[in-house]
Structure 1
Amino acid sequence: MAATTQDRNTPMKDGELIVVPVAAGVKIPAGSLVAANATGFATPGATATTLAYLGMADTNVDNTAGADGAVGVPVRRGKAFKWANDTGDPVTQASLGRPCFIVDNQTVAKTNGTNTRSQAGIVVGLEADGVWVI
């Protein structure tokens, strides 16, 4: 398709709340960290190198008995979410504006754990009870 030289009525939708097909055999609790696995299906955050951070599950979804994509999970994006700070590899104030990494479905860490963790997002704040990530 050639580049347009005319005005274009481009379709759009809000990307703040998206519904993502869920991976087979998983349960995603409401309020938990959601990632896309290597095949593009929603999965709980975990220590793995093949995940892409998506955001926070807006509701509880149980696909433990279903195939890939049998159900979808609404995922909230574009906001800063407060995740737990890993005690073994804590995010520090020096991490502000830098990436942090997924440990599990509610926890982030400062480093990639010697190339064992996927990036969660960018640290935008740090409090005693968690790390704000966007």
Structure 2
Amino acid sequence: MTALIAGRNTPAKAGDVQVGLVAAAVNIFAGAMLVRNASGHILPAVTGTDLIGVGRAEVAVDNSDGAAGDATATFKNGRFRYANSAGADEITIADIGQPCFAVDDQTVAKTDDTAARSAAGIVEDVDDLGVWVIFNEALTRAAL
């Protein structure tokens, strides 16, 4: 392509709502923390490897009897609060700006548990109710 010589109507994706194909045999609850697997499918966050946090499920999706790609999930990236892990994996304000790791679809931890957990997102804040996590795939991948 050559450089522009006039204005261009460049397509854009407005907002923070996204849609992705769901992994096989999963049930997603509204509000769940979601991850993308190595093949690009969306599933509820679990302790596992080769996953990356993508955001919060906007609606429930039951693909428990389906194959990968049989259903779609609507999710938002952005900032959401999830439960904090405990003990040595509890996230504190000293961890703000650092990656956090998925324990399950509603809990994040400070460490990857010796490479057993995948990154959920970036810690934005910590309060008495949990951890505020920034979900942005590119930002999370860059932070790793």
Change (3 A) 1:121 1:3: farther
**TM-score, normalised by the number of residues in structure 1:** 0.93
Residue 80 of structure 2 aligns with which residue? 81
The number of residue pairs the alignment matches comes to 132
Residue 103 of structure 2 aligns with which residue? 103
Name the % identity. Answer: 46
For the residue of structure 2 that corresponds to 1:62, the secondary structure is: strand
For the residue of structure 1 that corresponds to 2:43, the secondary structure is: strand
Q: Would you say the 8 A contact 1:24–1:64 is kept in 2?
A: yes
Q: Would you say the 8 A contact 1:15–1:77 is kept in 2?
A: no
Is 2:61 aligned against 1:58? no
1:59-115: CA deviations, max 9, x gaps? 11000111111111110112x100100114111111011111111100000011111
Distance 1:132 1:123 in 2: 6
Is 2:128 aligned against 1:128? yes
Change (3 A) 1:21 1:15: farther
Distance 1:83 1:28 in 2: 16
Opposite residue 115 of structure 1, the aligned amino acid is A
Residue 91 of structure 1 aligns with which residue? 91
Distance 1:122 1:29 in 2: 22
Opposite residue 25 of structure 1, the aligned amino acid is A
Q: CA RMSD in A?
A: 1.2
Distance 1:94 1:49 in 2: 25
Q: Would you say the 8 A contact 1:100–1:108 is kept in 2?
A: yes
Q: Greater shift after overlay, 24-33 or 116-125? A: 116-125
Distance 2:72 2:12 in 1: 21
Q: Would you say the 8 A contact 1:48–1:116 is kept in 2?
A: yes
**TM-score, normalised by the number of residues in structure 2:** 0.87
Q: Following superposition, which runs of at least 4 residues in structure 1 exceed 4 angstroms of deviation?
A: none
